[in-house]
Amino acid sequence: MSAVCSLLLLLLLGAAEAAVAQALAPESTSPAADSLLLLSFRTRRVGVSTYAQQTDVRGRTRLTPNQSVQYRLFSDWIYDERGQPPFVREDYGANMLHTLRLGRRWQVGQLLHYEQSRANATRTGAWLARVGYQHRLRPATTLDTLSVARYVLFGGGAYDARNGRRDAGPSYGLDVTTLIYPGQQARQPVALRLFGTRSQLGPRVWQRTLAESYYERSFDDFTSGSLRLGYRSNRAEDYAPGNVQRIQSDTIATQLSWVYRLGDKASFRSDNLLALPRRAFLYRRLAAESDTVQNIGYQQQELDTRQEVRVNGKKLQFMLLFNYRERNRNYSLDNNRNLSPIRLAASTEREKIKDISEKTTLWQSELTWLPLPRHSLTLLGSAQLLRVDTPSADNDQDRDEAQHTLRLVWVGRWAGAFRTSLAVGSEYRQFVFIRAALSAENYTDRLLHWEPSFTWAPGRFSLKSTYHLWVSYQVRDRLSEQLKNRASRVLEQQQQVSYQFTARLLASLDYVRRENRIGLLNWPQFKESPLDTTITHDLSGGVRHSWGGTRGQNSLRLGYRFLEQRSHGRAALLDDATGAGSTLIYLRSLTRQQGPDIAYERRTTSGFSVVASLWLQQLRTLYRYEQGTGAYIGTSYTTADLERETKNLYPYFEVAVNWRIRAFHRQ
């Protein structure tokens, strides 16, 4: 209710502001907008007892020709009425930047920042004064007016409250940005940026450093390349029991890209990335009597190279992609606890158990044939291999994961606005642990896909139908694990029917059915025994009427939605008198959600839009079962549990408002 009241208050204030602005602006003039306000609000029911709300207000206002203010206010809530406390997330934030130009080169201003999170019990804020200066790098050259440098110095105070502590201290930083054109014929500049900030919050230090450069050059009409260099450093400190924990992250990265085009027929692209991230977890005592924690860290090397070739012809189109990724991580220790050489060696050895190396090789190809102007046949294939290697003999995570896919897609367009498509595909996955300790988890997965669809839209009538059937056979490698073999079949179909009675009246009917069957698989005999089946029906239909004029458009939809989910499986029936026993039953659980569905939408030419929907859902759950023979060990129910039936009414709603408000000064 408070969120709705806040929204209504904002809307009333915005409407009053717009009305005053229109009254002050003479009708005979067309003044330019000098301020802008963007309002975004969304609230919805997520679950039976869970609600969500997001509000975002952004704006800018020009106070004078040389003075402006930019601001943002936002909130993000997730509310669960069953929780204690009921709010599981409640975040607020506010930012404001005030700038004043002093001539063509100087600029001063101030920045205000505040964030609060109730779930984490944290509050952070900062006030920073800013001084900026910019100038041309080649003032004597009249041909180069675009090479410029901008400098921003800022400093002030910061506040941080968490873990029952409140810290405050100075905060300052520097931001330098330059654009340099190497020569008179250069089309792209060299972009350089250096950014650094530091906040001293009592015994803690927050620090961030960024240095990066980017350059792109076209050598001729067919060849171009780009180079990116960067360094990032982040130091974040928080409280640990008796200590201050410091998380230090440093990354050096470089990326080289190359593009070569041979006319309109063929092209080659190469993207190569090398990154060297490093992270350390360091601790220092808050008091001399406190016990410290062991410092740990790791170094990592990342390599990612991607090579792509494309050939485009009138009848044939071809693409080949090769991608190789490698990640190596090595852990280390600092002897901050003054351990003896023997204990330090043992601790280091335990930490190095986590050392890991991952190598991924990927091949992808796509071939498209256009035999006729309205028909196409596409063949897609991929092969990927992931190899995980752990140097330590005590780490059993060494494994290989291989995946191969093949897919054939045919699309045909016929006369009478009729279109058909058919896709068939297969996948082969193999998961293998190298060492014997986890070899029981090794399996092979085979999948088959069949996807037909068609669309028919002759005039006012439209019919779209899609189907997707995929079958999976997962087989364990070891004979002792054959009872874990599973067969899965999923059939999903979607039907969409609509009819346009008039330009403003549309009727539609949507139906989605999904059936998932899981069974125990006997792979040598290729037989399966059903274990669980879930069938879902989702039917919704309605009529939408649209109207409007020069100021905006409106639409109202009235309909009905029916959702049903049935689950079939095995369970155990307990004796009502003794509470013991495990008689086998074939259980069917039924969940139905149905009710009227209404939606309203309005969009104006002035930048206002509202979308509201309500599904008055009646939820009903019940059970049906048949007794089997023999005993069963698994999920158990009593007769009273199976006879219990629930009925509830839940209004599921969603409201989204976006408003673009402009104000004007008197001319």
Mark which of 162, 183, 204 sits at the end of a domain: 183
19: pLDDT strictly greater than 70: no
Number of folded domains that form the chain: 2
Residue 632, amino acid: Y
Query: Is 598 inside a domain boundary?
Result: yes
What CA dihedral angle connects 571, 577, 578 and 581, to 10 degrees?
-30
Question: Is residue 605 over pLDDT 50?
Answer: yes
Position 22 confidence tier, pLDDT thresholds 50, 70, 90: very low
The reply to whether 263 falls in a domain is: no
Instruction: Say which residue the tokens 């003044």 belong to.
Output: 31
Phi, psi of 42 (to 5 degrees): -150, 130
pLDDT digit string, tens, across residues 171-186:
999 999 999 888 766 6
Residue 638's pLDDT band, with cuts at 50, 70 and 90, is confident
Using alpha carbons, select from 238, 236, 216 the residue that is nearest to residue 225.
Answer: 216
Domain of 137, in residue numbers:
32-143+152-183
Least Cα distance to 423 among 457, 448, 403 occurs for: 448
Instruction: Please check whether residue 20 lies inside any domain of the structure.
Output: no
| Both tokens assigned to 280 | 């350390």
Q: DSSP letters of 499-529?
A: EESSSSEEEEEEEEEEEEEEEEEETTTTEEE
User: How many angstroms separate the CA atoms of 48 and 45, rounded?
Assistant: 8
pLDDT at 15 over 60: no
Q: Mean pLDDT throughout 32-58?
A: 87
Q: What confidence score (pLDDT) does residue 370 get?
A: 94
Mean pLDDT of 272-298: 91
- Residue 142: its pLDDT value, please? 67
Q: Measure Cα distances from 503 to 71, 176, 598 in Å.
A: 42, 56, 20
Rounded Cα gap, residues 69 and 230, in angstroms:
32
324-377: per-residue pLDDT in tens? 999 999 999 988 888 899 999 999 999 999 999 999 999 999 999 999 989 999
Band (653; pLDDT cuts 50, 70, 90): very high
The 8-class DSSP code of residue 441 comes to: G
128-164 burial string, b = 16+ CB within 10 Å, else e? bebebeeeeeeeeeeebeebbebebebbbbbbbbbee
Average pLDDT over residues 279-294: 88
Q: Between the CA of residue 496 and those of 110, 457, 464, 490, what are the distances in Å?
A: 55, 11, 5, 20
Pairwise CA distance, residues 537 & 567, whole Å: 12
pLDDT for 4 beyond 50: no
Are 188 and 214 a contacting pair, CB within 8 Å? no
Q: How far apart are CA 394 and CA 386, in angstroms?
A: 21
> For the chain, what's the residue count?
667
Contact 365, 382 (CB under 8 A): yes
Model pLDDT, residue 81: 83
pLDDT at position 450 over 70: yes
Residue owning tokens 């659980």: 589
Average pLDDT along the chain: 89
Sign of CA dihedral 213, 214, 217, 223: positive
- Where does the pLDDT of residue 39 fall: very low under 50, low under 70, confident under 90, or very high at 90 and above? very high
pLDDT by residue (tens digit) across 397-436? 999 999 999 999 999 999 878 999 999 999 999 999 998 8
Q: Is residue 648 part of a domain?
A: yes
Least confident of 117-131, 190-204, 538-552, 621-635: 621-635
- Would the pLDDT of 481 be above 90? yes
| Residue 269 within a domain | no
Instruction: Supply 468's token pair.
Output: 């997707």
For residue 519, being part of any structural domain is answered with no
The band of 577, judged by pLDDT with boundaries at 50, 70 and 90, is low
Does residue 622 form part of some domain?
yes
- Count other C-beta atoms under 10 Å from residue 561's C-beta: 19
pLDDT band at 24 (very low <50, low <70, confident <90, very high): very low
pLDDT for the residue numbered 578: 65
Residue scoring higher pLDDT (100 or 550): 100
Supply the pLDDT for residue 29: 33
Greatest distance between any 2 Cα atoms in the chain = 100
- 633 belongs to a structural domain: yes
User: How high is the pLDDT of residue 429?
Assistant: 97
Q: Which amino acid is at 132?
A: G
Please check whether residue 150 is in contact with residue 177, taking contact to mean a CB–CB distance below 8 angstroms.
yes
